[in-house]
Amino acid sequence: MCFENKKLIVTKTVSSDVDRFRELLSLRNFYIDSTTVDSSATKIRVITVGNDDRTMTWIFTLSKVQRGTQNPCWMTDAIIIEDTT
């Protein structure tokens, strides 16, 4: 696995980070709604169902990294919570 992030360096975890992803970390079910893949990037749309039956949509964007010891690997560029209201 590759855990590099070229856009953001996090030096410590703050409570708002944990709160932002709480729904993703404590879910009852999920399914992959759609994927778009090419040779150097991918976009994955995931629907999650929380323990409280709340559904959320997440967009994961990844790019293929061609450097380092884990060459090649997929690097997470962004995790976006899609507004479903």
For residue 6, the model assigns a pLDDT of 41
According to CATH, the topology of domain 15-82 is: Nuclear Transport Factor 2; Chain: A, (3.10.450)
Tokens found for residue 41:
């990037």
Beta strands in 1-85, from DSSP E residues, in sequence order: 27-37, 41-50, 55-65, 73-82
List, for residues 27-45, the tens digit of each pLDDT value: 888 898 888 888 889 999 9
DSSP secondary-structure letter at 54? -
Q: What is the pTM of this model?
A: 0.69
Q: Token pair 């967009």 is at which residue?
A: 59
Q: Which helix (H) or strand (E) holds 15?
A: helix 15-25
Q: Please list, in sequence order, all residues whose beta carbon lies within 8 angstroms of the beta carbon of residue 41, skipping any fewer than 6 positions away.
A: 61, 62, 63, 64
Mean pLDDT, the chain, integer: 75
Going from N- to C-terminal start, the domains of the chain cover: 15-82
